[in-house]
């Protein structure tokens, strides 16, 4: 489990199934893509942010087989 840097009020907890999701060329989605995605979407609520992240991973993997869980927790911190 990784703790991504805090972005606004939503500190996400990520598991390796997201960072290690691979496309057809074998490249991983990686933490830098996650950081960029989080930074670009701080305006979303936690549910929308989680959905957006999962959509981006799915698009990156080009609909390929899921070989690991894609688990994340995004919570609003007041």
Token digits for 37? 């995605």
Instruction: Output the pTM of the full model.
Output: 0.75
CB–CB of 73/2 below 8 Å?
Answer: no
Chain mean position to CA 24: 18
Looking at the predicted structure, is the pLDDT value of residue 7 above 70?
A: no
Instruction: Give tens-digit pLDDT for 19-48.
Output: 889 998 989 999 889 889 888 988 888 889
d(CA 15, CA 21): 11
**Inter-residue contact 14 to 38 (CB < 8 Å):** no
């Amino acid at each position: 489990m990784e703790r991504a840097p805090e972005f606004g009020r939503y500190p996400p907890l990520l598991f390796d199934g997201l960072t290690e999701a691979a496309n057809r060329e074998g490249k991983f989605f990686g933490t830098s893509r996650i950081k960029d995605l989080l930074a670009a979407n701080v305006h979303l609520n936690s549910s929308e942010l989680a959905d957006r992240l999962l959509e981006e991973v799915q698009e990156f993997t080009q609909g390929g087989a899921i070989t690991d869980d894609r688990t994340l927790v995004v919570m609003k911190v007041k």
